[in-house]
Structure 1
Amino acid sequence: MSHIQYTLLRSNTYYYNRRVPRAARYIYGDFIRVALSTEQPQAEVLAGRLTDALNAAWSDTNHVMRLNIEAIISSHKPRLTKLSEFTSDYLSWKSITPTPVLLASRSLISLLGDRHVSEYSREDIKLFAQSLLQKGNRTGTVRRRLNCISAVLNYAYAELELDKRNPASRVLIRGEGADAMRRATFTSKQLELGYKEALASGSDVRLLFPLLGETGCRLAEITGLRIEDVCISSQVIHISPHSCRRLKTKGSERDLPLVGYALEAMELALKQADQSFLFPRYLKEDAIRATHASNALNRWVKQRFGGLTAHSLRHTMRDRLRAACTPLELIDQIGGWSSVNSIGSQYGEGYSLKMVRDYLEKVKIE
């Protein structure tokens, strides 16, 4: 017998079991018995909800209301409590790349367990940070993981209305920033050599090299391009979010002209594309696997250019634009970087496509 009001426990299942008052028996019969849940906390919530609804329906004996009891039970959504549950819920609301948040959450769960979000302490989070450092992660990576955990916990505490200090906020990391490595960049000669080899290779993977190098895009932005995002007649690509690939920031959505080697590479890539995506080989289970593309491209890039990576192309483009005296806001617009220097940069429509093309023409590799 269960101690929850109006319930019975039979074969590990809680049932709502209640005698119906005389005035309501012509609608509900003599008894109401319906399965609730195998979990006591959820059964308790459902029993209370059903009791309140029935009491209200039966309060006026002259006008008894007919309730759909099954609908009341099935419409109840169990309350989220665990970190894994709130991680998924948080990502369902946020239009962000899910991988960093998932990595952080799964790493914490593997170390400390999937607990109620209120149970993680400051010492737990410090242990998590120390564990990441011991595994060889740089302090910058550890900070990003902590920021992800902090964001999920902030969301969870707000949803649960918990008045609790976030244990992942403002955690000190010993030696933070001292291990940062400045990413090297390509020379113009290396870019020209790499572009020519990529175009002559017949490899769609290597075609990413000039597409990234001459647009400054993130690798996921290019590998996630749909055919509808490419207008070869106007020589423009549209970087926008879709169901198979999100964007890193709100400012990442943009139009970019194709100039020089990027235009040649795009024309070749279109010949190898399918009806929907520019790089269909990286579409798996309705998601773009940019990491797979990165691994494949970097095997060639690192060997060919002394350890440089595909992401170095993005840093190189920013240096090239600086050298051409490109306005800072225009540099940020081209690369889809967040402009943090002034509030004013967030206003207006930004630079025209013609101005973007003019500056990309200035820095293109001939």
Structure 2
Amino acid sequence: MAHTISRGVYYFVKRIPGRYACVDPRSRIQLSLKTKCPEVAQKKSLIVEERLIAYWEALLAEDHEGAKTHYDAAVNFAEAQGYSYLSLEKVVAEPLGGLLNRIEVIPDSERSKTGSVVADGLLGGAPKPALKISRLYEDYLDLTPDLLIGKSDDQIRKWKNPRLKAVNNLIAVVGDKDVHELTRDDGLKLREWWMDRVVDEDKKPSTANKDFTHLSKIFSTWRDLRQEQLANPFLQLRLAENELQEHRPSFSRDWIKTALLAPDAFGATNEEAVLVFKILINTGLRPSELLGAKLEHFVLDHEVPHICVEEYRDGPVKRKLKTKWSARDVPLLGVSLDAAKRLVAMGGVQAYYLKADRWSALVNKVMVERKLKETDRHTPYSLRHSFEESMLEAGVDHRLRVELMGHAYNRPKYGEGGSLELKREAIMRFAFN
């Protein structure tokens, strides 16, 4: 690949490799890069060469992959010549000068050839291939790698699974049809299917609404990035949510004291799992925040012993927080401080490091077996709600409550100088010892 200059304008110049002689009879290509800047010319040359090679490779594979390959080759050829691929309708609607310019680029030998990739690329004759719903999700992931940046393997799994489930639910209802054929009726069929499950199977409306949210986002993002002119069939499908049904209960203070903190409450359960549970009691941390903490995040030799919740990357290990407000320092007091000291002495979180689901499954199972659930709807996560309610009952300032919970807050945080001390004083009002 090279570029040359003529009359102050740079041109891309390349001899066609022998590998592609059977699909492109030209011996040499010369295209204007439409720039007088050498740096810009270099960058454009790399892009043009990449497009040309993709076009040639698609031509070589055309007999094997059919319509999709033909379409991809047509798009790549058009872009390699400096044109955006347009449908036939849009090409015809262009001003006459633009249409003539496209026609002039087509070699005489290609103009009358049926199914010519060259002609189809410039004149929009290549129909878009069908894309099944099952392939839509994969294409969406290919288009949005930025959404997974900074996430650990476990976080990526948790992010992907509900979206894949939503896609599979849609396929179960309407079939694995071409995405271009999806209609509002398909969205309504899915809503009706979910409505039946909510009424007959006691499923939560919020579960259905998550499907609608994921499908709408996947579809609209894919549509916009692929420049498809399609209406989103998944808008405004949400079901009404019963606040009482969706409310997560908190443990009462009496239950925490007499049941959860009773001697030998968890029996022979893995010690690390029990220590994690006790640290949550006076901190209100999300289990995933604690189980993503490294040893250095437990700051016990400080005037105010605390745990640091923060994002980090350590080689292949990535830890991303739920929101930007989740990053915070939380004081350790009472049973939580004692448990943290013991956990640090054991080397920190190990068996359940970045494995919140595994920890939760074990503790849930033990709580059922040993009758530690205040009601059937209580889970280990209920400790976070108990912490929040304890702050409210103790009259802790709203701003401090928000910071300790890691929730969004529009005002500036407390100054670094007194933040930990203020938080410690607040937690001391209700901490379990």
Q: How does 1:79-118 map to 2 (within 5 A)?
A: 82-89=135-142, 92-94=145-147, 98=156, 99=158, 102-110=161-169, 111=172, 112=174, 117-118=179-180
CA–CA distance in 1 between the matches of 2:22 and 2:327?
A: 52
Q: CA deviation at 1:364?
A: 0.6
8 Å CA contact retained: 2:272, 2:351: no
Alpha-carbon distance change, 297 to 143 in structure 1, aligned in 2, over 3 angstroms = same
Alpha-carbon distance change, 106 to 186 in structure 1, aligned in 2, over 3 angstroms = closer
CA–CA distance in 2 between the matches of 1:327 and 1:54?
A: 64
8 Å CA contact retained: 1:229, 1:238: yes
One-letter amino acid of the structure 2 residue matched with residue 225 of structure 1: A
CA–CA distance in 2 between the matches of 1:221 and 1:199?
A: 22
8 Å CA contact retained: 1:224, 1:244: no
Match of 2:88 in 1: none
Q: CA deviation at 1:48?
A: 5.2
CA–CA distance in 1 between the matches of 2:381 and 2:139?
A: 31
Match of 1:29 in 2: none
One-letter amino acid of the structure 1 residue matched with residue 410 of structure 2: Q
CA–CA distance in 1 between the matches of 2:358 and 2:300?
A: 26
Match of 1:45 in 2: 72
Q: CA deviation at 1:114?
A: 5.4
Match of 1:362 in 2: 429
SS at match of 1:237: strand
Q: CA deviation at 1:282?
A: 3.1
8 Å CA contact retained: 1:198, 1:209: no
> Any idea what the Cα deviations from partners look like across 1:200-233, whole Å, max 9, x if unmatched?
8662112222111211111111112122322222
CA–CA distance in 1 between the matches of 2:265 and 2:301?
A: 23
Question: Which of residues 9, 17, 25 in structure 2 aligns to 1:19?
Answer: 25
Unaligned runs of 5+ in 2: 1-19, 31-52, 84-104, 106-128
Q: CA deviation at 1:327?
A: 2.3
Question: Which of residues 290, 294, 299 in structure 1 aligns to 2:365?
Answer: 299
Alpha-carbon distance change, 333 to 290 in structure 1, aligned in 2, over 3 angstroms = same
Question: Which of residues 335, 350, 360 in structure 2 aligns to 1:261?
Answer: 335
Q: Which segment is superposed worse, 178-187 or 88-97?
A: 88-97
Q: CA deviation at 1:116?
A: 5.4
Match of 1:212 in 2: 280
Q: How does 1:133-282 map to 2 (within 5 A)?
A: 133=195, 134=197, 136-173=202-239, 176-177=241-242, 180-193=245-258, 194-195=260-261, 196-197=263-264, 203-234=271-302, 235-242=305-312, 243-273=317-347, 278-282=348-352
CA–CA distance in 2 between the matches of 1:305 and 1:35?
A: 62
SS at match of 2:274: coil
8 Å CA contact retained: 1:213, 1:317: yes
Alpha-carbon distance change, 178 to 231 in structure 1, aligned in 2, over 3 angstroms = closer
8 Å CA contact retained: 2:334, 2:432: yes
CA–CA distance in 1 between the matches of 2:82 and 2:213?
A: 47
One-letter amino acid of the structure 1 residue matched with residue 276 of structure 2: L
CA–CA distance in 1 between the matches of 2:72 and 2:294?
A: 47
Identity percentage over the alignment?
20
8 Å CA contact retained: 1:216, 1:314: yes
Q: Tell me the TM-score normalised to structure 1 length.
A: 0.71
Q: CA deviation at 1:262?
A: 1.0
Q: Which segment is superposed worse, 191-200 or 161-170?
A: 191-200
8 Å CA contact retained: 1:117, 1:153: no
Q: CA deviation at 1:53?
A: 4.1
Q: Tell me the TM-score normalised to structure 2 length.
A: 0.61
Alpha-carbon distance change, 187 to 248 in structure 1, aligned in 2, over 3 angstroms = same
Alpha-carbon distance change, 100 to 141 in structure 1, aligned in 2, over 3 angstroms = farther
Q: How does 1:330-341 map to 2 (within 5 A)?
A: 330-338=400-408
> Any idea what the Cα deviations from partners look like across 1:29-53, whole Å, max 9, x if unmatched?
xxx9964334342344236535764
Q: Which segment is superposed worse, 323-332 or 350-359?
A: 350-359
SS at match of 1:17: coil
Higher relative contact order (CA 8 A, sep 6+): 1
Residue 315, structure 1, aligned to residue 385, structure 2 = yes
Match of 1:348 in 2: 412
Alpha-carbon distance change, 20 to 86 in structure 1, aligned in 2, over 3 angstroms = closer
CA–CA distance in 1 between the matches of 2:176 and 2:346?
A: 44
Alpha-carbon distance change, 219 to 19 in structure 1, aligned in 2, over 3 angstroms = same
Alpha-carbon distance change, 115 to 281 in structure 1, aligned in 2, over 3 angstroms = farther
One-letter amino acid of the structure 2 residue matched with residue 364 of structure 1: A
Q: How does 1:3-18 map to 2 (within 5 A)?
A: 17-18=23-24
Q: CA deviation at 1:334?
A: 1.0
CA–CA distance in 2 between the matches of 1:23 and 1:208?
A: 66
8 Å CA contact retained: 2:280, 2:287: yes
SS at match of 2:351: helix
Alpha-carbon distance change, 44 to 305 in structure 1, aligned in 2, over 3 angstroms = closer
One-letter amino acid of the structure 1 residue matched with residue 425 of structure 2: D
Alpha-carbon distance change, 54 to 297 in structure 1, aligned in 2, over 3 angstroms = same
Stretches (4+) displaced over 6 A: none
Question: Which of residues 184, 187, 191 in structure 2 aligns to 1:125?
Answer: 187
Q: CA deviation at 1:239?
A: 1.4
One-letter amino acid of the structure 2 residue matched with residue 326 of structure 1: V
Unaligned runs of 5+ in 1: 1-13, 25-31, 60-78, 339-344
Q: CA deviation at 1:329?
A: 2.9
SS at match of 1:158: helix
Alpha-carbon distance change, 322 to 291 in structure 1, aligned in 2, over 3 angstroms = same
SS at match of 1:337: coil
